[in-house]
Structure 1
Amino acid sequence: MARTYRRLNLFMAKPLVDGQAFGDLLTDAPVDNYPMADNSGIDGVLYVKQSTETRPSWGSVLDDVTGRVIPNLANRSSSAVLLLRVDGDVFAFTFGYGRFLIEQSLFVQDFGLRTALNTLDEKSLRSVDLHTLEDQPVQKKSQAARDSEVGVFGIDILRDVLRAVTGVPKRGVGLTQIAGGDATFSFSTEMEAADFPELARRIKGYYANDDYKTSFSWVDNVRKVKDDASIDALNVQLVRAVSARNPGIMVTLPEIGAWDTILGFSFTRNKDGVRPVIQTADYIDTIPDLANLTVDGLKRDRLFVHDVDSNITEHSVYRCIYFEIADGDKTKIIFDGKWYEVDATFISRIAATLDLVQISTLSFPAVEVWDEEGKSKIESEGDYNIRAAAAHGYFLLDKKLVKTNRTTSSIELCDLLTPAKEMVHVKHRKGGSAGLSHLFAQGGVAAEIMLGDKAFRKKARTVLRGVDPTARDLVPLDNLRSADYEIVFLILGEGSATLKQNLPFFSKVNLSKAFENLTQRGFRVSIAGAPTTPRAIP
Structure 2
Amino acid sequence: MAKSYRRLNLFMAKPLEDGQTFSNLLTDAPVDTYSMADILGIDGILYVKQSAAKRPSWGSLLDEVTGHDVTDLENRSSSAVLLLRVDGDIFAFTFGYGRYLIEQSLFVQDFGLRTALNTLDDKSLRSVDLHTLEDQPVQKKSQAARDSEVSIFGIDILRDVLRAVTGVPKRGVSLMQISGGDALFSFGVEMDATDFPAIARQIKGYYINDEYKTSFAWVDNVRKVKDAVSIDALNAQLVHAVSTRNPELMVTLPEIGSWDKILGFSFTRNKDVVRPVINSADYIATISDLTRITIEGLKRDRLFVHDVDGNITEHPVYRCIYFEIVNGDKTKIIFDGRWYEVDGTFISRIVKTLDLIQISTLTFPAVEVWDEGGKSKIESEGDYNTRAATAHGYFLLDKKLVKTDRTTSPIELCDLLTPAKQLVHVKHRKGGSAGLSHLFAQGGVAAEIMLGDKAFRKKTRMVLRGVSPTASDLVPLDTFKSTDYEIVFLILGEGSATLKQNLPFFSKVNLSKAYENLTQRGFRVSIAGAPTTPRLTP
Q: TM (normalized to structure 1)?
A: 0.75
Q: Which amino acid aligns with 1:79?
A: A
* 1:344 corresponds to: 343
Q: 2:32 corresponds to which residue?
A: 31
Task: Give the percent of matched residue pairs that are identical in Structure 1 and Structure 2.
Answer: 72
Does 1:124 find its partner at 2:124?
yes
Matched residue of 1:177: which SS?
A: strand
| Corresponding residue for residue 49 of structure 1 | 48
Cα distance, 1:491 vs. partner?
0.6
Query: 2:239 maps to which residue?
Result: 239
Decide whether the 8 Å contact of 1:112 with 1:182 is kept in 2.
Answer: yes
Q: Corresponding residue for 1:170? A: 170
Which 10-residue stretch deviates more, 420-429 or 110-119?
110-119
- Name the residue aligned to 2:81: 80
Cα deviation for residue 122 of structure 1 reads: 3.1
Report the equivalent of 1:305: none
Q: Are 2:521 and 1:526 equivalent residues in the alignment? A: no
Q: Distance in 2 between matches of 1:412 and 1:343?
A: 34
Residues 1:460 and 2:423 are matched in the alignment: no
- Which residue does 1:259 correspond to in 2? none
AA matched with 1:324: I
The letter for the 2-side match of 1:413 is L
1:305-384 equivalences under 5 Å are 324=325, 331-333=331-333, 340-345=339-344, 346-384=346-384
What is the Cα deviation at residue 96 of structure 1? 3.2
Name the counterpart of 2:419: 419
Quote the Cα distance in structure 1 between the aligned partners of 2:59 and 2:374: 61
Specify the alignment match of 1:409 in structure 2: 409
Asked if structure 2 preserves the Cα contact closer than 8 Å seen for 1:12 and 1:107, the reply is: yes
Alpha-carbon distance between aligned partners in 2 of 1:60 and 1:476, rounded to the nearest angstrom: 61
Pair 1:99-2:99 in alignment:
yes
Quick one: distance in 1 between partners of 2:360 and 2:205?
53
Cα distance in 1 for partners of 2:219, 2:446 equals 30
Query: Which runs of no fewer than 5 residues in structure 2 stay unpaired?
Result: 252-287, 302-316
Q: After the TM superposition, which of the residue ranges 63-72 and 413-422 deviates more from structure 2?
A: 63-72
Counterpart contact for 1:113–1:185, Cα < 8 Å: yes
Cα displacement (A) at 1:184? 0.7
Return the letter of the residue paired with 1:5: Y
Aligned CA distance change for structure 1 residues 516 and 342 (closer, same or farther; 3 Å): farther
Show the 5 A alignment for 1:419-458.
419-458=419-458
**C-alpha separation between the residues in 2 aligned to 1:293 and 1:107?**
25
Query: Is the contact made by 2:84 and 2:197 (CA closer than 8 Å) also made in structure 1?
Result: no
Residue 180 in 1 paired to residue 175 in 2?
no
Aligned AA (2:78) = S
Contact 1:14 1:107 in 2 (8 A): yes
Q: Which residue of 2 aligns with 1:512?
A: 512
Name the aligned partner's letter for residue 474 of structure 1.
L
Could you say if the C-alpha distance between residues 446 and 207 of structure 1 is closer, same or farther in structure 2, counting changes exceeding 3 Å? farther
TM-score, reference length from structure 2: 0.75
Q: Deviation per CA, 1:51-76, whole angstroms, max 9, x where unpaired?
A: 46646559998999899997997847
Aligned CA-pair RMSD: 4.3
C-alpha spacing 1:505/1:63, structure 2 compared with 1 (3 Å): closer
Match of residue 491 from structure 1 = 491
User: What is the one-letter code of the residue matched to 2:396?
Assistant: L
On the 8 A contact 2:83/2:90 being kept in 1, the answer is no
Question: 1:266-302: CA deviations, max 9, x gaps?
Answer: xxxxxxxxxxxxxxxxxxxxxx9997565779x99xx
* Aligned-partner Cα distance in 1 for 2:356–2:199: 50
Structure 2 residue aligned with 1:262: none
Measure, in 2, the Cα distance between the counterparts of 1:369 and 1:378: 4
Change (3 A) 1:210 1:426: farther
CA distance in structure 2 between the partners assigned to 1:517 and 1:290 by the alignment? 44
8 Å CA contact 2:223–2:343 kept in 1: the answer is: no
Return the alpha-carbon distance in structure 2 between the equivalents of residues 59 and 491 of structure 1: 48
Paired positions, count: 478
CA contact (8 A) 1:9 1:184 kept: yes
For the 8 Å contact 1:252–1:431, the answer to whether it is kept is no
User: Is 2:40–2:194's contact at 8 Å kept on the other side of the alignment?
Assistant: no
| SS at structure 1 position matched to 2:470 | helix
**Runs of at least 4 residues of structure 1 off by over 6 A?**
58-74, 223-226, 229-233, 288-291
- 1:367-416 CA deviation, whole Å, 9 max, x = no partner? 11123454432211112112222333322221111110000111011112
SS of residue in 1 equivalent to 2:7 = strand
Q: 2: CA distance between counterparts of 1:323 and 1:34?
A: 45
Distance of 2:134 and 2:375 partners within structure 1: 32
Give 1:166 shift: 1.7
Provide the C-alpha distance between the structure 1 equivalents of 2:138 and 2:127, rounded to a whole number of angstroms: 17
**Alignment CA distance shift 1:219-1:425 (3 Å):** farther
Deviations 1:125-167 (A, max 9, x none): 3223334455554444333332233444444555544332222
State the one-letter code of the partner of 1:429.
R
Change (3 A) 1:165 1:383: same
In structure 2, relative to structure 1, the CA distance for the partners of 1:323 and 1:129 (3 Å cut) is closer
Alpha-carbon offset, residue 490 of structure 1 = 0.9
Unaligned segments of structure 1, at least 5 residues: 256-287, 301-315
Q: Say if 1:90 and 1:252 are closer, same or farther in 2 by CA, change over 3 A.
A: closer
Q: Provide closer, same or farther for how the CA distance between residues 120 and 534 of structure 1 changes in structure 2, counting only shifts above 3 A.
A: same
